[in-house]
A = this chain, B = another copy of it.
Amino acid sequence: MIRKGNRRGARPAPPSNEFLLGFSVGYDTILAVVLTARDVFQRVTADTRKSLIKFCNSCGAAVRFRIPEGDTLERAVCDACGAIQYQNPKIVVGCLPVYGERILLCKRAIEPRYGLWTLPAGFMENNESASEGAAREALEEANARVEIEDLYTVFSIPHISQVYMMFRARLLDAAVSPGAESLEVKLASEDEIPWDQLAFAMVKRTLEHYLEDRKRGVFVPRFGDIRPPNR
């Protein structure tokens, strides 16, 4: 399921999701990450302060942001019942479904990036595996039955606290059709990919890697970060 920020349906997306799209692709390979804990802590703490959590979801009392005993980061702590509400990155799972030489693309019927093209992907749900979630999204967005193959690209997008996990997949049946979140679906040959109409940086990178690897005849998983252009 693609959500608009933290919601589904027709409500406007929160601004944070726009980051996904609005920047040039900053794909850093994940080399040489030696950092002090403080660097990360400062960033994370700043983010947590902006949280919309105001009340405890266990007892309904007001929470306050403080560093719990034995922790290093500010959390939404309920002093009434002791519960702590953690906020963690979300996983988006998807796939690159291939039928012969052609790739399944979906034109988005929802914001953000309404009308632009994407690979089927959405938030991973509790109690499913990443590959199950990727297959589910293909079914939901394009009525596409796929056989999930290897995990192919993994992108961290720290400023929106999301991790994308994209699989290669074999489309089992060319009879695809738009699901509720797609205006249109198509099986695109390499020449037909609408490069200037792609919804997300991770879609562009995943397609580029795939086409490059297909020419070489070897598929190599890629891992990296996507950051806004000013970082």
Please state if B158 and A88 are interface contacts (CB–CB under 8 Å). Answer: no
Min Cβ gap A159→B in Å is: 7
Q: Please name all residues of chain B whose beta carbon is closer than 8 Å to the beta carbon of A145 when the two chains form the complex.
A: 34
Q: Are A6 and B86 neighbours in the complex by a CB distance under 8 Å?
A: yes
Instruction: Determine if B147 and A31 form an interchain contact, defined as CB atoms under 8 angstroms apart.
Output: yes
Chain B proximity of A89: nearest CB distance (Å): 5
Q: Interface with B: A100-108, A135-143, A200-208, which one?
A: A135-143
Give a binary string over A29-72; 1 marks a CB under 8 Å from any B CB, 0 the rest. Answer: 01111111100100110111000111111111111000011111
The reply to whether B40 and A71 contact each other, CB–CB distance below 8 Å, is: no
Q: Mark A74-110, 1 if CB is under 8 A from B, else 0.
A: 0010000000111111110000000000000000000
Smallest Cβ-Cβ distance to A75: which chain B residue: B8
Complex Cα gap A57–B61 (Å)? 9
Tell me if A89 and B55 are in contact (CB < 8 A).
Answer: no
B154 close to A129 (CB less than 8 A): no
Name the residue of chain B whose CB is nearest to the CB of A156: B129
> B59 touching A56 by the CB < 8 A rule?
no
- Does A212 interact with chain B (Cβ within 8 Å)? no
CB-based nearest B residue for A128: B40
Cβ of A170 to closest chain B Cβ, rounded Å: 9
A193 contacts the other chain (Cβ, under 8 Å)?
no
A40 CB → nearest B CB, Å: 5
Say if the beta carbon of A218 comes within 8 Å of chain B.
Answer: no
Q: A48-B126, A60-B55, A131-B156 are in contact. Are A68 and B221 (CB under 8 A)?
A: no
Are A129 and B225 neighbours in the complex by a CB distance under 8 Å? Answer: yes
Contact A86 B3 (CB under 8 A): yes
What chain B residues lie within 8 Å of A140 (beta carbons)?
Answer: 37, 72
Minimum CB–CB distance from A163 to chain B (whole Å) comes to: 6
Do B35 and A135 touch (CB < 8 A)?
yes
CB distance from A204 to the nearest CB of B (A): 19
Residue of B44, B68, B128 touching A127 (CB-CB under 8 A):
B44
Known contacts A54-B60, A89-B91; can you find 14 more A-B pairs with CB under 8 A? Answer: A36-B139, A40-B127, A47-B126, A53-B58, A57-B63, A60-B62, A70-B180, A88-B125, A88-B126, A91-B163, A128-B156, A131-B223, A151-B154, A154-B165
